[in-house]
Amino acid sequence: MQVRIDARPTAPHSDDAFAPPHQRFHPAAMPPTRILILSDGRPGHFNLSEGIAAAIERLGPVQTSRIDIRRGRWSGSVLAALTRARLPPRQLLRLVYGVDEKAIPACDVVVSAGAETLAASIWLARARSVPNIFYGSLRLFSPADFALVLTSYARNADRPRHALALKPSRLDPDKLERAVGHALAAASSGPPTTIGLLLGGDAGPIRYTSADWSDLFNFIVTMHREHGTRWLVANSRRTPNDVSDELTRLAAVEASPIQRFLDVRTAGPGTLPGLLAACDAMICTADSSSMISECIWARQPTVAIKPTPFPLDRDERAYRDWLIGKGWCRELALSDLTPATFQQAVSRICAQANNPLDELAALLTARIPRLQSVTGTSLCKPTPPAAGHNEERTRQSPRT
> Pick from 314, 266, 359, 358: which is nearest to 156 by CA?
314
Regarding whether 239 and 309 lie in a shared domain, the answer is yes
Regarding whether 217 and 80 lie in a shared domain, the answer is no
Query: With DSSP H G I counted as helix, E B as strand and the rest as coil, what are the percentages for the chain, rounded to 5?
Result: 40, 15, 40
pTM for the whole structure: 0.85
Averaged over 267-285, what is the pLDDT?
A: 84
Burial of 37 (0-12, 13-18, 19+ CB in 10 A): buried
Regarding whether 370 and 312 lie in a shared domain, the answer is no
Q: Compute the distance between CA of residue 307 and CA of residue 211 in angstroms, rounded to an integer.
A: 9
User: How many CB atoms neighbour CB 155 within 10 A?
Assistant: 11
Regarding whether 218 and 157 lie in a shared domain, the answer is no
Domain count within the chain: 2
Regarding whether 215 and 68 lie in a shared domain, the answer is no
Regarding whether 28 and 164 lie in a shared domain, the answer is yes
Regarding whether 182 and 130 lie in a shared domain, the answer is no
Residue 116 belongs to a domain = yes
pLDDT of residue 382: 32
Q: What is the pLDDT of residues 117-144, one digit of tens each?
A: 999 999 999 999 999 999 999 999 999 9
Q: Compute the distance between CA of residue 183 and CA of residue 189 in angstroms, rounded to an integer.
A: 10
Comparing 10-19, 277-286, 300-309, which segment has the lowest mean pLDDT? Answer: 10-19
Between the alpha carbon of residue 363 and those of residues 52, 71, 133, 172, 355, the distances in Å are 11, 30, 12, 17, 13
Which residues constitute the domain of residue 145?
A: 2-168+355-380
3-state SS, one letter per residue, for 352-384: CCCCHHHHHHHHHHHHCHHHHHHHCCCCCCCCC
Confidence of residue 96 (pLDDT cuts 50, 70, 90): very high
Residue 329 belongs to a domain = yes
Regarding whether 179 and 124 lie in a shared domain, the answer is no
352 and 294 in contact (C-beta within 8 Å)? no
Regarding whether 307 and 190 lie in a shared domain, the answer is yes
Regarding whether 301 and 366 lie in a shared domain, the answer is no
Regarding whether 32 and 47 lie in a shared domain, the answer is yes
Regarding whether 242 and 203 lie in a shared domain, the answer is yes
**CATH number of 39's domain:** 3.40.50
What is the average pLDDT value for the chain, to the nearest integer? 86
Write the Ramachandran bin of 271: left for phi over 0, alpha for psi from -120 to 50, otherwise beta. Answer: alpha
